[in-house]
């Protein structure tokens, strides 16, 4: 019964996606990306004779989480081909040309036929699912075929369906993993309370990823010219709900401050609306680039608005403060990227599901705000107290440094799983 109801819900989702595609950009991309998808995957892998490691990420954030493991796997097992799949357009469309994978596709919707056809076409030697990805038909098919399957950077909470009295089918799904590598002690204990033993507390591989970002950060000359010697606030992954809180505070703030705003999604009308609401001169990044103006032309603007995707991680290096969006809506975006550069962080109230946010608030590196007045008070205190700023910045940087090393633990388990598989094949 569970299998039938689950698969029906997936089919209904697919139908809704197609119906919404003429009216919704993300739905349109997702539907178009899955058109003839299995045939394209079959064609791409038809001549492959190398073993395949399959990595699946929901979206861009999970890709960044998985990237250190993919790159470590590539270095340790160069004979493997890497298949990377995404569920969401916000991951696939941005990383579809990622050089670290040999094949990159959307994930076909999780029906029994799709799962069977995909796995027959790919013939994965090992499969990795990053953080929250629990697809019933794919996991069952992999398990039935004896494909070693790992979940890493996973995190669990008592309120999830796995731990409910009616969650039996979902608990069964967890047994399809050969090993689950979790982020924290609570997740470890929750899984062991279900009788699962193939569990390792490895931490979060995003710490390794942000450490790579610091080591490989790229200079952005326009941002350097914009900042000069003025304190800089970087607003990353901003939604309208975030700007509704930020704009009154920024308009009332009368001390020296430059502000970089990177929207979560690029919509011209929304950007222009924000520009109209902000007091002080603003300039779009593309205006500076396209006009071919000298970079010093941005120096008399108070706001630099980033109207492209992919620069945010490098922009944080110029920040003295960061506000990270999403926590007035469905969920907080990546705060480890600004934290690794050592700065106080601010975000909205919905952050409890994000371990790093909980930790950084507790350690004094981050501050959650519920409205404009909360933000004004918190920001002005940190801005005006050099000692408080230094302490918060140090707490952020030290926290990230303390979390590095999860990738090595994931690879230790991976090596054991692969060795066990090779041993079985030779018996």
> 2-203+405-426 — its CATH code?
3.40.50.11720
One of 2.60.40.10, 2.60.260.20, 3.40.50.2000, 3.30.450.30 is the CATH number of 215-403, namely 3.40.50.2000
Q: How confident is the model at residue 344 (pLDDT cuts 50, 70, 90)?
A: very high
Name the segment(s) of the chain with CATH classification 3.40.50.11720.
2-203+405-426
Half-sphere exposure of 114 (CA within 13 A, CB side): 21
Q: What is the pLDDT of residue 26?
A: 87
* Bridge partners of residue 261, in order along the sequence: 235, 305
Structure confidence at residue 290 (pLDDT): 76
In the prediction, which pLDDT does 427 show?
Answer: 55
pLDDT at 109: 96
Domain with CATH 3.40.50.2000 in the chain: 215-403
Structure tokens at 269: 């009308």
Is 0.95 surpassed by the pTM of this model? no
Measured distance CA(265)–CA(308) in Å, rounded: 9
State yes or no: pLDDT of 158 exceeds 80. Answer: yes
347-392 pLDDT, tens digit per residue, is: 999 999 898 999 999 999 999 999 999 999 999 999 999 999 999 9
pLDDT band with cut points at 50, 70 and 90 for residue 237: very high
Per-residue model confidence (pLDDT) at position 295: 65
Residue 416 has pLDDT above 70, yes or no: yes
Q: What is the pLDDT of residues 118-130, one digit of tens each?
A: 999 999 999 999 9
52 neighbors 125 (Cβ within 8 angstroms): yes
Task: Give the model confidence (pLDDT) of 181-233 as tens digits.
Answer: 999 999 999 999 999 999 999 999 999 988 888 888 889 999 999 999 999 99
Could you tell me which residue, 291 or 34, shows the higher pLDDT?
34
Return the H-helix or E-strand segment holding 67. Answer: helix 60-76
DSSP 318: G
pLDDT digits (tens, 9 = 90+) for 1-45: 888 899 999 999 889 989 888 888 888 998 898 999 999 999 999
Query: Is 94 strand, coil or helix?
Result: helix
Locate 217 and state its tokens. 């950060």
Instruction: Using the predicted structure, report yes or no on whether residue 88 has a pLDDT greater than 60.
Output: yes
Query: What is the C-alpha to C-alpha distance for residues 280 and 364, in angstroms, rounded to an integer?
Result: 31
Residue 355's CB is within 10 A of a number of other CB atoms, namely 18
Mean pLDDT of 289-304: 77
| Residue 158 DSSP class | T
Q: What is the pLDDT of residue 297?
A: 67
Band (pLDDT 50/70/90 cuts) for residue 420 is: confident
Name the residue among 380, 343, 381, 375 with its Cα closest to residue 243: 375
According to the model, what pLDDT value does residue 292 have?
65
**Distance between CA atoms of 282 and 274, rounded to whole angstroms?**
10
Q: Is 425 a residue whose pLDDT tops 70?
A: no
The pLDDT of residue 23 is 85
Average pLDDT over residues 314-329: 96
Across the range 44-57, mean pLDDT stands at 96
Strand (E) or helix (H) holding 382: helix 372-384
Greatest extent of the chain over all pairs of C-alpha atoms, in Å: 74
More confident residue, 376 or 289: 376
In percent, the amount of the chain with pLDDT more than 70 equals 97
**pLDDT score recorded for residue 291:** 65
- The mean pLDDT value of the chain amounts to 93
Please give the pLDDT value at position 294: 58
Q: How confident is the model at residue 419 (pLDDT cuts 50, 70, 90)?
A: confident
pLDDT band at 423 (very low <50, low <70, confident <90, very high): low
């Amino acid at each position: 019964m569970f299998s039938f109801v689950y698969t029906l819900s997936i089919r209904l989702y697919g139908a809704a996606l197609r119906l919404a595609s003429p009216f919704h950009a993300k739905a349109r991309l997702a539907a178009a990306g899955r058109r003839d998808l299995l045939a394209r995957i079959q064609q791409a892998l038809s001549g492959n004779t190398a073993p395949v490691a399959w990595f699946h990420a929901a979206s861009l954030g999970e890709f960044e989480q998985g990237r250190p493991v993919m790159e470590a796997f590539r270095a340790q097992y160069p004979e493997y081909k890497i298949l990377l799949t995404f569920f969401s357009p916000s991951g696939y469309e941005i990383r579809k040309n990622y050089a670290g994978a040999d094949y990159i596709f959307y994930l076909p919707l999780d029906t029994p036929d799709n799962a069977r056809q995909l796995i027959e076409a790919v013939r994965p030697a090992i499969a990795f699912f990053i953080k929250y990805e629990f697809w019933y038909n794919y996991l069952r098919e992999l398990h039935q075929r004896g494909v070693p399957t790992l979940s890493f950077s996973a995190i669990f909470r008592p309120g999830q369906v796995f731990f409910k009295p009616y969650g039996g089918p979902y608990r069964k799904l967890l047994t399809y993993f050969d090993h689950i590598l979790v982020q924290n002690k609570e997740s470890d204990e929750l899984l062991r309370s279900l009788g699962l033993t193939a569990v390792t507390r490895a931490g979060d591989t995003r710490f390794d990823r942000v450490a790579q970002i610091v080591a490989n950060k790229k200079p952005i000359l326009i941002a350097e010219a914009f900042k000069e010697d003025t304190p800089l606030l970087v607003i990353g992954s901003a939604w309208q709900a975030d700007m509704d809180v930020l704009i009154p505070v920024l308009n009332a703030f009368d001390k020296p401050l430059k502000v970089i705003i990177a929207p979560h999604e690029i919509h011209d009308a929304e950007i222009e609306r924000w520009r109209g609401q902000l007091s002080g001169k603003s300039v779009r990044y593309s205006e500076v680039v396209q006009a071919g103006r000298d970079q010093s032309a941005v120096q008399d603007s108070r706001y630099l608005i980033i109207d492209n995707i992919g620069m945010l991680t490098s922009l944080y290096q110029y920040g003295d403060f960061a506000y990270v969006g999403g926590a007035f809506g469905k969920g907080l975006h990546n705060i480890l990227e600004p934290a690794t550069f050592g700065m106080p962080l601010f975000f909205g109230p919905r952050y409890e599901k994000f371990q790093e946010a909980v930790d950084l608030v507790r350690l004094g590196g981050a501050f959650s705000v519920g409205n404009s007045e909360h933000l004004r008070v918190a920001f002005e205190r940190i801005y005006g107290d050099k000692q408080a700023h230094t302490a918060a910045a140090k707490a952020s940087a030290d926290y990230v440094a303390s979390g590095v090393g999860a990738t090595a633990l994931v690879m230790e388990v991976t090596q054991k799983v692969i060795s066990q598989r090779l041993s079985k094949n030779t018996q």
